[in-house]
Amino acid sequence: MNKYIGKVSQYYRDVISEMRKVVWPTRDEAKDLTVVVLTVSGILALFTFLVDQVISFVMGKLL
């Protein structure tokens, strides 16, 4: 039982050590990255919609 407690406490010490190394983005960087993610997501959604419409049209004509 004690070896498990030691492993768990070592795990949490390692997590804390790694979290201290994290470099968090500034508020402005986070805003800019959010805009990039939303823009790319919108473009991909539009592309997927258009491909779906073309495939549906072609399948409708073939069948």
Express each pLDDT in 17-53 by its tens digit.
999 999 999 999 999 999 999 999 999 999 999 999 9
pLDDT at 1: 65
CB 37 within 8 A of CB 44: no
pTM of the predicted model as reported, rounded to 2 decimal places: 0.65
- Scan for tokens 């419409």, then name that residue: 53
3-class SS letters over the chain: CHHHHHHHHHHHHHHHHHHCCCCCCCHHHHHHHHHHHHHHHHHHHHHHHHHHHHHHHHHHHHC
Q: For the chain, give every domain's residue range.
A: 25-63
